[in-house]
Amino acid sequence: MRQGVLGFCSVEDCTDQTRCIISKDRRHCKCATGYYSDRCEKDAQIKILCGKNFISIRVLEDFFQYYNVPLESVHLPNRSCGVQREVMDGVTFFMSRTPKEKYLICGGKPLEKNITHISYSLSLLSEPQVKENIIRDPVIKMEYTCVYPYVRTVSLPFAIVPFSTEMVLRVDDLDATIEMMLYTDHTYTTAYSSAPTIELRGKVYVEVTVSEPADFFLLRLDECWATQSPQPNTTDGLHHVLLFNGCVNDDTVVFHNGTPGQSEHNGASPTIRYSFDMFRFLSEEQDLYLHCSVQLCERDDLESCTPNCNSISKREAVRAHPGQGLLSYGPIKIEIPHRPQSSILMTVVLPVAAVWIVVFFLLTIITVAKAGSRRLTRLEQR
């Protein structure tokens, strides 16, 4: 994004070179993109939102007030496409939301395409503030761009639909789609297309990702647990916690490219991959359902999005966050080992038959002995 403001900041107060741009003769300076005021210490909190069907920009209202720019004088290249005042968490912004179908109407630049991406570029402008026959306040111009993958559709004779679950979270003015899928192995290349069946102690490979918009949010798993019921908060049946407050709670949990018991990959990217060893509950052999509570963070919020799992206090309660949601996946079927009929015969039928043979043999010996005893008695009586 490029920002232009026709005006000067105070050279003598402009000490932070990362926020102030001083001219070569050191007589003038201007604030770097995203900052304003005489010392350039204030952050305009400029956010570009590249949605699936819209492009949006928001800027702190105080930024425009500093330059004496009223709401009605701010617009896109087409003056009919203005901005609105929005209040978020008690903070007021100027916001422009442009649907893609109105991109050219509102003055968007011709689309730039290459083999892999398409670029949309717009400008947010302010009208010069004329007083009598002079202009004293600066004119604002912000150019911003959204880059989208250039998707080509390839048709197959049959559909491959992964067995997955997804949810949509609304954060500020943006809808984010989050998916949870299970994969067949550690390469995470083939997702299950139906309810997976996994043997005890087999690896369960889980992926949770922000599929839309891509590369805008960071994702954190706050808690993941398994139940015997499709309902995540049911009191019926047992449950087992895999992750708690973003940290490993099951010794078999391994984050992708991580090591057992470490959670450094949680909260650091839009995609989280982890695995655990398949298990079943004591009560009876039933299907499992996996549930994960997730949290979205903005890119510049990496420090607070990453869980601290090295301290004893890691199990402190997680604070409520507007970008939190819940995903559930299942059923995950437990593979029961197959027992051949011959083994059943050997372990059940043959032992029972052997017992009866021994009993019959003992009865025969007893009968013969009694017969021999009676015959001996008769001989003695003669």
**Which residues, 6 or more positions from 330, have their beta carbon under 8 angstroms from its beta carbon?**
195, 230, 287, 288, 289, 290
Range of the domain at 14: 2-149
Structural domains of the chain, count = 2
- Model pLDDT for residues 302-342, shown as the tens digit of each residue: 777 888 887 544 444 444 444 578 888 888 888 766 555 54
Residues 213, 183 share a domain: yes
pLDDT score of 281: 85
Between 356 and 100, the more confident residue is 100
- Model pLDDT for residues 248-263, shown as the tens digit of each residue: 999 999 998 644 544 5
**pLDDT averaged over every residue in the chain:** 77
Kindly list the distances between the CA atom of residue 330 and the CA atoms of 159, 190, 244, 289, 377, in Å, as whole numbers in the listed order.
21, 17, 20, 5, 80
Q: Is the peptide bond before 331 cis (omega within 30 degrees of 0)?
A: yes
- The answer as to whether 117 is a domain residue is yes
- Model pLDDT for residues 279-306, shown as the tens digit of each residue: 988 876 678 889 998 888 877 777 778 8
- Mean pLDDT value across residues 63-90: 90
The gap between the terminal CA atoms of the chain, to the nearest Å, is 129
Residues 136, 7 share a domain: yes
Residues 10, 92 share a domain: yes
Residues 107, 74 share a domain: yes
DSSP type of residue 161: -
Q: Give the three-class secondary structure for 106.
A: coil
Place of tokens 């949006």: 56
State the pLDDT confidence band at 80, using cuts at 50, 70 and 90. very high
Q: Is the peptide bond before 213 cis (omega within 30 degrees of 0)?
A: yes
Rounded-to-integer distance, Cα 344 and Cα 350, Å: 9
User: 186 is written with which tokens?
Assistant: 């550690």
Residues 177, 300 share a domain: yes
- Mean pLDDT value across residues 360-380: 62
Residues 92, 50 share a domain: yes
